[in-house]
Amino acid sequence: MAADIWTALFIALLAFFVGYEVISRVPVLLHTPLMSGSNFIHGIVLVGGIVALGLATNTAEEAIGFIAVVMGAMNVTGGYVVTERILAMFDRSKRPGAKP
Amino acid sequence: MTDWVSDTIDAVYVVAVLVFILGLKAMSSPVTARRGIVYAGVAMLIAVVVTFFSPGLSNFALIALGVAIGGLGGWYWARVVKMTAMPQMVAMFNGMGGGAAAAIAAVELLSTLSNQVTSGLSVAGAIIGSISIAGSMIAFLKLQGWLPSKAIVLPARQFVNIAVLIVGVGFGVSTLWTMNVVWLLPFFVLLLLYGVLLTLPIGGADMPVVIALFNALTGVAVALDGFALVNGPLGDAGYAMVIAGTLVGASGSLLTLLMAKAMNRSVGNVFFSAFGATEETGVAIKGSMKPIEATDVAAMMEYANQVIIAPGYGMAVAQAQGKVRELADLLESKGVAVKFAIHPVAGRMPGHMNVLLAEAGISYDKLFDRDEINAEFPNTDVVLVIGANDVVNPAAHRQGSPLFGMPILDVEQAKNVIVIKRGQGKGFAGIENDLFYRDNCHMLYGDAQAAVGKLVVALKQS
């Protein structure tokens, strides 16, 4: 049982270094999309919300689980759309009047 | 049968996590960034869909309803909001993630309060998630202008904040100690209150650090929830949350440190000093602030070899980016080289100026970071400062100033500096700007959009 938590800890340790290395050279230009994009990625919390609500057995758990799902879903879609909109503006090919 | 389903779900989670990493990696170049978010979006969609097929789930109608409400709401809101409102949108959606993490932790504690280790992780996730949602909402309200953006300082702030945090965490520990869920209500109330109290004394110009930090905190809260879930019946969703949450925690922390470093302040100083609530006194500055007319500025720029534009929050407030683009195009058509100097913390979120200028269609190869452009100011004829203040304040070079040591744009070294500003007020830091009194500096008073508009008109007539 506790072994699962140790496994998760090993995974988290590696994920931390991956996260750090992967974005350590991001230019200032992309700070906003990076932040917004990582904002979208923690929207994976929706999966946890679905599991929590799906396994809920009484009204209190269902009510709070429902809140988790609504908020998680907002996080996912809102985070995605905001990031997409910001990056669309950096897309040179679709911008009128930009230098080729 | 069930094994086959679980294995498929696990495989999907593995692929989703891989694509998240690749998506983040793609964020390091403007050419690949858009592809990255689209791939990550598809991976997320598939991960969410397969979770529905997890064995043992019930409440499908409620889940579908929740996903529909939150999903459509978030989608619609993020679609219709103006680009200038992006900082508060990022804060809002980040808060939603923190809130979801806190709620999941609450369900975990209600349903499986049995093991101190697992429940302890849920308590930790609840603490961080609650602080993140409450703090993000305050940041949202400040950025939206529904709360004053300057530091709101309550009496005995430090003492009250620490007391609220300690007592709140104490209720969490009581929950674990007594294995009784009655403590959860005061626990959540106090932690949410702490998030509010923590964020109220932080002024608008420090928001880039705040938003980046709350983003990291939500990531950590999600990871902690994941830790608590891996022991449960559907543990593999927990692993996905651990990885994605930790990735965000790491990248968010790095960004937070970068932002704080750009102001030469520690993250602790940003959060606990109520910076900007007090004003510097007793420093006399020689010289005077000299107003100038738009037509004179236009003439000055027309005969310049190079003009550098340094935008700040004032440009965002006045939504002047379109006019700025017009001005830059006009100058270029007259053979003047135009560049943009971007300070990392100009505006209200990391990279704020870049986004606004990109929205106006200004090519990103004309935007230069502080380190890249500082050497060019001595060879520049005209620098146009649009609604920026503290990031160009040479007081940062003066010992004893609250700004001392902050890396700034050294615009004062240019031959002429024109500052577009609404009035004679001080910057966010409450510090007089020495720059405005320099001999080579002139003030063009007015709203950024109106003032740049006047420059455009004057240039067209000449």
Please say whether the beta carbons of B377 and B435 come within 8 A: no
Radius of gyration in angstroms for the set of CA atoms belonging to chain A, rounded to a whole number: 19
Strand partners, B369: B342
Our answer to whether residue B365 is catalytic in this structure is no
- Which burial class, exposed, middle or buried, applies to A94 when counting CB atoms under 10 A from its CB (0-12, 13-18, 19+)? exposed
Closest by CA to B149, choosing from B79, B88, B220, B226, is B88
Please say whether the beta carbons of B294 and B451 come within 8 A: yes
DSSP codes of every residue in B229-282: HTTSTTHHHHHHHHHHHHHHHHHHHHHHHHHHHHTT--HHHHHHS-TTSS---S
In B405-431, which positions are buried (b, 16+ CB within 10 angstroms) versus exposed (e)?
ebbbbbbbbbebbbbbbeeeebbbbbb
CA distance A27 to chain B (A): 7
Phi then psi for residue B439, to 5 deg, are -65, -35
Please say whether the beta carbons of B348 and B355 come within 8 A: no
Predicted-complex ipTM score? 0.91
Of B51, B78, B365, Cβ closest to residue A51? B51
Measured between alpha carbons, how far is residue B405 from residues B267, B395, B408 in Å? 15, 9, 9
B255-264 pLDDT, tens per residue?
Answer: 999 888 888 8
Please say whether the beta carbons of B122 and B181 come within 8 A: no
Instruction: Specify the pLDDT at position B428.
Output: 66
Of A32, A42, A57, Cβ closest to residue B352? A32
Please say whether the beta carbons of A60 and B64 come within 8 A: no
Q: Which residues of A touch B255 (CB under 8 A)?
A: 23, 31, 34-35
User: Do B71 and A77 lie within an 8 Å CB cutoff?
Assistant: yes
- Give the pLDDT of chain A (100 residues) as one tens digit per residue: 456 888 999 999 999 999 888 888 788 788 888 899 999 999 999 999 999 999 999 999 999 999 999 999 999 999 999 999 988 887 765 544 443 3
Instruction: Specify the pLDDT at position A100.
Output: 35
Full-model pTM: 0.88
**CB neighbours of A69 closer than 8 A, spacing ≥ 6?**
A46, A49, A50, A53, B62, B63, B66, B67, B70, B100
DSSP B441: E
**CB neighbours of B13 closer than 8 A, spacing ≥ 6?**
B47, B50, B236, B237, B239, B240
**CB neighbours of B200 closer than 8 A, spacing ≥ 6?**
B138, B147, B151, B152, B154
Instruction: Specify the pLDDT at position B298.
Output: 93
User: Do A18 and B93 lie within an 8 Å CB cutoff?
Assistant: no
| Chain B 273-332, residues with CB within 8 Å of chain A CB atoms | 329
Phi then psi for residue B447, to 5 deg, are -60, 140
CA distance B261 to B249: 18
Strand partners, B202: none
CA distance B461 to B287: 33
The residue whose two tokens read 């930090």 is: B213
B259-300 pLDDT, tens per residue?
Answer: 888 888 888 888 887 776 655 555 666 678 889 999 999 999
B148-194 pLDDT, tens per residue?
Answer: 877 788 888 889 999 999 999 999 999 888 888 889 999 999 999 99
DSSP B291: B
Interface probe, candidates A10, A44, A80, A83, chain B, greatest B C-beta count within 10 A:
A44
Please say whether the beta carbons of B53 and B9 come within 8 A: yes
Instruction: Specify the pLDDT at position B181.
Output: 86
Q: Which residues of A touch B249 (CB under 8 A)?
A: 16, 19
Please say whether the beta carbons of B57 and A54 come within 8 A: yes
Residue numbers in chain B where pLDDT is lower than 50: 1
